[in-house]
Amino acid sequence: MEFRTEHDSMGEMKVPADRYWGAQTQRSCENFRIGTGIETMPAEIIHAFGVLKEAAAMANLELVPDRMSARKAEVICRAAGEVARGELDEHFPLVVWQTGSGTQSNMNANEVISNRANELAGEKLCHPNDDVNMSQSSNDTFPTAMHIAAVLSLENSLLPAARKLADTLRGLEERFRGLIKTGRTHLQDAVPIAFSQEISGWRASVERGCELIVSSLEGLRELALGGTAVGTGLNAPEGFDAMAARKISELTGTGFRPAGNKFHSLTSRSEIVAAHGAVKALAADIMKIANDVRWMSSGPRCGLGEIRIPANEPGSSIMPGKVNPTQCEQATMVAVQVMGNDAAISIAASQGNFELNVFLPVTAYNFLQSVRLLSQSITSFTENCVAGIVPDRQKMEQYLHSSLMLVTALNSYIGYENAAKTAMLAFREDISLREACVKQGFLTGEEFDRIVRPENMI
């Protein structure tokens, strides 16, 4: 491998010749040999750095043209745009387990953009600190990158996936309207419910999860950029925060604004905690829906067997013909991971000291992993399971008419205690509710048939 020599304030470092990063990035590579090699800074953060560096260069050009020339701004914006589009991902090697402020990843972005800009300019025109990092600090850029990445990943990945699931459920709801089955509470038989009503509960849960996520976006739209090192805005020109936020909004196509209190935005991660809480809420509902689906499809002969789901792959290496609810299983495992990530994010957010929180990389890593996994999981669950759900009408009818909880319809006619006696006698002697009610003289058979009609109980 060929190397070139780069230098920073601590001296010279040898850097791979085919990489745009510089001395500070190389120091981080050598000082933080931690993890499996895949726990690198999320691509979403890298791309967000590209966006904010381009926006910062444009804002500096307007506000401090004596320091940010048009030529410098042009090549910085071109290089930063390549970073934002993911064209230079291989030049961002740093692991999550680095400095807690993300300083080394900010410098990684500065060095890559500076060296690429100089290459585009054909001369050594831009300095990573003086030009690419102008009016900024790692302490305000990394929180800004986190918020940009969070908003874009929620809007572009998770919300579309969840809304598609809700639409698919709405389709099932319409298709199976009028089909009545037994309800269940406490895993025990309960009064009747329409299958469409049960599905509507799933659909509404997903829709509410989307609403909570959308509400959480408002806090994430506030950016720390302009606070620089401790929130005072030292070395940033007046109006830089507002102008940079406008530029970021234009580049991303979604709204951002400067944080009202930069001291809060540097040290508190409450917006990330709240947004991930909404992600966790959706994951909890996905867990519930997936469990319902696998309970209802259990069997096919010795379980509930009320619905059938697509048979996607063989379920056993030893039991021929076995098919398992694998999409339900992946969805519930992902939900567990999201819940675990929420604990890590909450603990990390609680550790802000004085003017800075130094658990930023692990917070970003866990947040974006949750969004990425849940988005992909929901899409897979929707396409490979939910869309193919088919009710077993015969099984549903069998359970419906054998349910002892149909006795609930008798409360208003023979009273709760007599209805309870009817249910217990039917269970004890393994006879129908009708037989038990008539046997005890509470009603005639004709009266029972008139009162106990499942279609009137939903």
- Which residues are known to be catalytic? 186, 316
Cα–Cα nearest to 423, from 401, 441, 403, 443 = 403
Stretch (H or E) spanning 14 = strand 11-16
Classify residue 228 as left (phi > 0), alpha (psi -120 to 50) or beta. Answer: left
Cα–Cα nearest to 395, from 182, 174, 199 = 182
Spatial neighbors of 172 by CB under 8 A, at least 6 apart, are: 196, 199, 386, 389
What gap in Å lies between CA 60 and CA 71, rounded to an integer? 12
Strand locations in 93-243 (E): 180-185, 188-194, 222-223
What gap in Å lies between CA 166 and CA 85, rounded to an integer? 30
Q: How far is CA 325 from CA 287, 293, 312, in A?
A: 13, 8, 9
DSSP 192-218: EEEHHHHHHHHHHHHHHHHHHHHHHHH
Judged by DSSP in three states, 93 sits in coil
Q: Are 20 and 115 in contact (CB under 8 A)?
A: yes
Torsions phi, psi for 177 (to 5 deg): -65, 135
Tokens of 226: 């302009």
Spatial neighbors of 446 by CB under 8 A, at least 6 apart, are: none
Q: Which residues pair with 180 in a beta bridge?
A: 194
Q: Are 282 and 161 in contact (CB under 8 A)?
A: no
Q: Which residues pair with 185 in a beta bridge?
A: 188
- Report CA Rg, the chain: 30
Q: Are 299 and 307 in contact (CB under 8 A)?
A: no
Stretch (H or E) spanning 235 = none
Angle between helices 240-252 and 138-153 (to 10 degrees): 30
Q: What's the distance, CA 126 to chain centroid?
A: 38
Q: Which residues pair with 452 in a beta bridge?
A: none
Stretch (H or E) spanning 400 = helix 393-402
